[in-house]
Homo-oligomer: A and B are copies of this chain.
């Protein structure tokens, strides 16, 4: 008997599902153990329904969620509307009506996932969301299955395609942030309000979700620090190159002696690091673990077909579990108490870029500040800036969060110094 699914929404991603079901029919049916059939599609209103039927679609479009909730033949509800409401209400209703749920909605999972996961667990239903992180990269299921034998100590990812596209243009073409943003908007990679992408919020949502699968810890969005790319100048980009690095916006989760530290930040990546060549809208997740050592998964972070493929993999998994009668397992079963790192244990090397007076002795003055807190330098660059100013650029050795805060405070108190930027630097 075919497995009947309902789609909530029929936008870009959802309309990629018929493509996969047609082009890859026999493989999907074999893997699922049964045919998968799109039974009903919820759309906003009669207008949208008419528009889609006018385009030649012959699906049963409905405008009320009840038509889906009350249909006993529908076993899987696939939410692809995006945003928080009404998606959240519909998913909870679907779970209460005994439907398994698949979603690609990362904002929703990051902000309200806990509630929906426990509802699904209570009802003994599947609630899968592979597509919510890094679109086409099968990262969540791989972490849950293949890394079950391993212990991850660090996860670093290029998790936002829009900002990575912009950074790639700034590096390759020497564009300014504003030029890169305008082009990303023109190409439809960035929305008219790009805040979530460029300020690291979208990447922080993904970090929060990844923390469950990689460290077993359920981080709230607020527990993930975030800093975006809007402050990065073309000058930072060329300085990075001179020093042997590439700047990208990275999400990170790291184990420290006292707990985990998670955040999103522009980061200097050594040019030989595997993440340095992740360009354009591509995403990648780089993992350090006690067993495998270093590994990386690379692929498209968004897009119709990649995201639809991840959604379909979830649907197939549910279909198989239904057949095996093993449905109801949590998507991620790895659980560990959430313990956040102490500031003294959060350690990184950093890039500091400062404007100083164009006079001798500036390096000595700045070295004195860092020396107060026992921080030493890996590399220093000094060059004339505009007017009476010089630019002083430092790559430090490892320093912890307390040292960072102390140094920043002291720099601020020096009247003729001004801190232009300060970013994390990844080790080799």
Q: Is the CB of B317 within 8 A of A136?
A: no
Q: Taking the complex as formed, is A138 at the interface, i.e. its CB lies under 8 A from any CB of chain B? A: yes
Of the stretches A176-184, A202-210, A297-305, the one at the interface is A297-305
Of the stretches A2-10, A23-31, A68-76, the one at the interface is A23-31
Most buried by B among A272, A292, A297: A292
Chain A positions 17 through 40: 1 when the CB is less than 8 Å from some CB of chain B, otherwise 0: 000100110011011100000000
Chain A positions 379 through 393: 1 when the CB is less than 8 Å from some CB of chain B, otherwise 0: 000000000000000
Chain B residues with Cβ below 8 Å from A130 are: 146
Q: Taking the complex as formed, is A167 at the interface, i.e. its CB lies under 8 A from any CB of chain B? A: no
Chain B residues with Cβ below 8 Å from A279 are: 272
Chain A positions 239 through 257: 1 when the CB is less than 8 Å from some CB of chain B, otherwise 0: 0000000000000000000
Chain A positions 260 through 281: 1 when the CB is less than 8 Å from some CB of chain B, otherwise 0: 0000000000001010111100
Residue in contact with A149 in the complex, picked from B28, B276, B303, B333, CB distance below 8 Å: B28
Once bound together, how far apart are the Cα atoms of A23 and B150, in whole Å?
9
Q: Is the CB of A136 within 8 A of B293?
A: yes
Q: Is the CB of B296 within 8 A of A298?
A: yes
Q: Is the CB of B309 within 8 A of A292?
A: yes
Number of chain copies forming the complex: 2
Instruction: Give the distance to chain B from A97, nearest Cβ to Cβ, in Å.
Output: 25
Q: Taking the complex as formed, is A312 at the interface, i.e. its CB lies under 8 A from any CB of chain B? A: yes
Once bound together, how far apart are the Cα atoms of A320 and B294, in whole Å?
26
Q: Taking the complex as formed, is A148 at the interface, i.e. its CB lies under 8 A from any CB of chain B? A: yes
Taking CB as reference atom, which chain B residue is nearest A139? B146
Q: Is the CB of B290 within 8 A of A24?
A: yes
Residue ranges of A at the interface with B (Cβ–Cβ < 8 Å): 20, 23-24, 27-28, 30-32, 130, 136-138, 141-142, 145-151, 216, 272, 274, 276-279, 282, 289-300, 303, 305-306, 308-310, 312-313, 315-317, 324, 326, 333-335
